[in-house]
Every structure is written in structure tokens, then in C-alpha cells.
Amino acid sequence: MQDNHCFPENFLWGAATSAYQIEGSPLADGAGPSIWHRFSRMPGRIHDDDTGDMACDHYRRFEDDVRLMKELGLQAYRFSIAWGRVLPEGRGRVNPAGLDFYQRLIDALLEQGIQPFVTLYHWDLPAALDDRGGWLNRDCAAWFADYAQILFRALDDRVQYWATLNEPWVSVDAGYLHGVHAPGHASLAETPLAAHNLLRAHATAVQAYRAEGRHRIGLVVNLEPKYPISLAPEDRAATVRAHAYMNRWYLDPVFFGTYPKVLSELFGADWPNFMQADLDHIRQPVDFLGVNYYTRSVVRDDPQALLVRASRVRQDHNLHTAVDWEVHPQGLVDTLQWVKRRYGDLPLFLTENGAAFEDPEVIGGRVEDPLRLTYLREHLKAAYTAIASGVNLQGYFVWSLLDNLEWCHGYSKRFGIVHVDYATQRRIPKSSGQFYARVIRSRGEALWEEEG
Ligand code: FCB
């Protein structure tokens, strides 16, 4: 496999999106509002007070979007299901029209030979459940598993890849500690509770899947390798804390049934005495792990920094993206190898990787985005290096298929390999998208083509 730089034959080439970021029509056909629908209506929470009301209008244009995926040669499409379309109140009554939207999307994908890779939860908790405490309520795990079971029964005949949660670390860190994402809380005491209930929800859904499902289910986490700025013991200790907080918090319990010890030290009195039975339950075998990788962080000790007492030292000499993430492809190799060393040789998918840059104007129907193209090239080469070193990486999903609503940044940050003109909803594949299509067609060989 290595000689001509081809990726493995069955390697899955895809692109990723999420419901709230692209669909629009949030309340159409009887759907219930989500916490993001609510959050986006609170003045000042999202850049320019943008909302997901229109987004990429994918809810109405999904057939065109699937055709676009086909044109790009995608073999898989990772998307999320909006819980509130299927269960407007989050539990109880099913809304057949909402479920039907995803049935039609999946059928359209399969018709084009594109594998659906379904995320059950990409941050859009039904608002009605938040009214009952949301992720702070222990019952949320059962609500999630009931919702998941409805989807397994309806869709597992056509869906081979299921992911329970997308990036629980972000749900908790941004949503419950810093308050910059929905539901917008900033509470030390709530943070470990929300995390624990998300993990219980993941495990309960995996258990439900074992009873119903015939394919594969896993979890998607965001990992960001941490490197100390110096060899000073304080900086190294800060790096250990940052690494435990961001990278181990949601994996140690899933694979070992334990939380990193340092978390209880960081939270002090706010760290609950979790029941061992919960941790045993959280440790459900998964069929794969989805890793989202964007950047690394170089860390220094910082006694003033909230909770973790560590902060990032910006590496000014290196390229940064429009959201100020350092471009560091080697971190992807390090991360995948670390996962294998620590958690075992399980199938991995790179479920998100990509970059926001200030794209130039559309000229003559073209969008040239060389920085994103190079980002993809370098990270795909890194993925190749990881595979060559023995990591069982089975697929890659670029974030994102389309420019879309980048959460609190609104529409100001563009991650798409396809440009979206939000006024007309016209889609134009960028040069990075065309490049990615060539990479897929050549099973990776085009990564090593002459540049320029
Ligand atoms: C990830 C999210 C995804 C997108 C990218 C840029 O944290 O999962 O929805 O916003 O970042």
C-alpha cells in the first residue's frame, strides 16, 4: 500500500456537517426548538446576532446538496440529526415529518452510493428538555437513549455508522463552564455534572444499540495535543492538567471506567462523588472512535487561568487560521498514535478536520483558497503517516462540506470546501473542494502532486 502513496482500498472519504449549522427551517413541519434556537435569540451571544433560521437552507435543498457531494466524489457524509425534529418536546411524541426528512436524506445518499455517518447529538438539545434541567438532569441519559432507539429502529437498516455525541468536551466547556455556547451557563459546579450525564447518555445509547442495531456505533471527541512551552516543572504540570481536562476526560471513563485523578483536584469541592456503578456503565465497548482534530496547543503554567491554571502560548511564527488555531499537522500524527497507545488498537475515523480562512471574493465563478487547500493536503499527509505507522484509521471527513454557521462566530468564519453565497444560496466548490475531489479519485496519490 505504501509505495505509490495510496490510502487503503476501503478507506472512507467524506465530509461532515451538523444539523443546526446548515439546515435552516428550525421549526418546520412541527419541529421543536433547540437550545441553539433559543441561544441565538439572546442579543449579543452570536456574532452579528446571526441565527440558524436560514443557514444553508439545506432542509429544503438537501437533494441538490447530495448531488454536489456526488460531484465531489464523496463516499461518505457525516451529518447530525436534530433531536427536536424527531421529538419536538425531546421525549414522548414522535413527529413523523421530522423523521421523514432524515429518511429522505439517507435514501438520497444511498442512491448516490454515499454512506451516511449519523451523529445523534451535535449540541442541539431540545429546549423543552433544557427546561427540565437539560444535561444537568440525570434523566437526560434515558431521554437520549429513547430518542436514539427510535432512530436505530427507523434507520439502522440503512445506516452503518452511528456516533452518539459530538465533542462532549465542547458541549460542557463552552456550554456550562464558559457560557459561550448554548445553554450559556458559567458554573464550576455544573460542569462535571453535565459531563457525567453526557457520558451516561452515550453509554445508555450504546447499550440500546446492542439490543437493536446490526452495525457500528462509537463516540466523537475533539482532541488537541498539548506540548509544554518549557521543561520547567510548572509548565509540565500545567500541560498534564490541560491534557487531562481536554483529552482524557471523555476517554478514560469510556475505555477504563475512571476519571483522570487530576480533575477532582482541579474542581475541589465542586467535584461530585460519582457512583462507581455509573462509571462501570459508562465503560461500554465502542466499535470505533471518531477523532476531530484541528490544532495543538503549547501550554504554560498560568495560576490566573480559570480552573485548569494553564494557558496557550501562541506560536506567532506559525500560520494560524481565521479562528486563531495554529496549523500543526504533526499534532494529528501524535494524537492518533497517542490514542492507539493509550486506548488500544481500535478503528478510528478522523470525523472532522479543516480550517477557516478569509476566502477571497468569488471571481468568474471561482473561489481560490490556497491556504485551506494546503491545510487539507498537509493534514491528509499526516493521516497517511499515521496509517503507515500502524494506526487503524479507516476514514477522513473534512469539516466542512459547506460554509455554515460557526456557532458563536455566526457566518463570519468559513470552513467549507464549498462556498455558500448566503444571499442566493448558490454553492461553488472552492479550489480546495476540487483538490479534495482529485485526492479521493486518486485514493490519496494527488496529495503528492507538484504544488502550484
Ligand atoms: C468543531 C465542531 C463543528 C465545527 C468545527 C469547526 O468543534 O464539532 O461543529 O464548528 O469545530
How many whole angstroms from 170 Cα to the centroid of ligand 1? Answer: 9
Cα 2 vs. chain centroid, distance in angstroms?
29
Contact 399 CB / ligand 1 (< 6 Å): yes
Reply yes or no on whether 358 is catalytic.
no
Cis? peptide before 297, omega within 30° of 0 = no
Q: What is the pLDDT along the chain (452 residues), one digit of tens a residue?
A: 445 789 999 999 999 999 999 999 999 999 999 999 999 999 999 999 999 999 999 999 999 999 999 999 999 999 999 999 999 999 999 999 999 999 999 999 999 999 999 999 999 999 999 999 999 999 999 999 999 999 999 999 999 999 999 999 999 999 999 999 999 999 999 999 999 999 999 999 999 999 999 999 999 999 999 999 999 999 999 999 999 999 999 999 999 999 999 999 999 999 999 999 999 999 999 999 999 999 999 999 999 999 999 999 999 999 999 999 999 999 999 999 999 999 999 999 999 999 999 999 999 999 999 999 999 999 999 999 999 999 999 999 999 999 999 999 999 999 999 999 999 999 999 999 999 999 999 999 999 987 65
**CB 166 less than 6 A from any atom of ligand 1:** yes
Distances (CA, A) of 307 to 171, 198, 224: 17, 20, 18
Beta bridge partners of residue 77, listed in sequence order: 15, 116
The answer to whether the CB of 170 is under 6 A from ligand 1 is yes
- 36 Cβ below 6 A of ligand 1: no
Ligand 1 pocket, residue 397 CB under 6 Å: no
The DSSP result for 344-389, as a single string, is: -S--EEEEE------PPPPBTTB---HHHHHHHHHHHHHHHHHHHT
Q: What is the pLDDT of residue 451?
A: 64
Ligand 1 close to Cβ of residue 352 (< 6 A): yes
Range of the domain at 172: 3-451
Per the structure, the count of domains in the chain is 1
For 37-78, write each residue's pLDDT tens digit: 999 999 999 999 999 999 999 999 999 999 999 999 999 999
Q: To test ligand 1's pocket by mutation, which of 352, 357, 413 has the most ligand atoms within 8 angstroms of CB? A: 352
Q: Is the CB of 406 under 6 A from ligand 1?
A: yes
Please state at what angle helix 431-441 crosses helix 58-72, rounded to 10 degrees. 50
How does DSSP assign 104-166, residue by residue? HHHHHHHHTT-EEEEEEESS--BHHHHTTTGGGSTTHHHHHHHHHHHHHHHHTTT--EEEEEE
Q: How far is the CA of 4 from the centre of ligand 1 (A)?
A: 33
Q: Would you state the cell numbers that stand for residue 57, as one nine-digit string?
A: 437552507
Task: State the DSSP code for 413.
Answer: S
pLDDT tens digit string along 229-274?
Answer: 999 999 999 999 999 999 999 999 999 999 999 999 999 999 999 9
CB-based contacts of 386: which residues, under 8 Å, 6+ apart?
A: 332, 333, 336, 337, 393
- Give, using CA atoms, the residue closest to atom 9 of ligand 1: 18
C-alpha cell at 76: 461518505
Pick the catalytic residue from 23, 224, 326, 352: 352
The three cell numbers locating residue 186: 458559567
Give residue 332's identity as a one-letter amino acid code: L
Residue with cell 462540506: 401
The confidence score (pLDDT) of residue 5 equals 84
Task: Look up the CATH number of the domain holding residue 418.
Answer: 3.20.20.80
Catalytic option among 23, 167, 326, 406: 167
352 is catalytic: yes
Atom of ligand 1 nearest to the CA of 415: 6
Q: Can you tell me which residue has the cell 487530576? A: 262
Find where cell 441565538 sits: 40
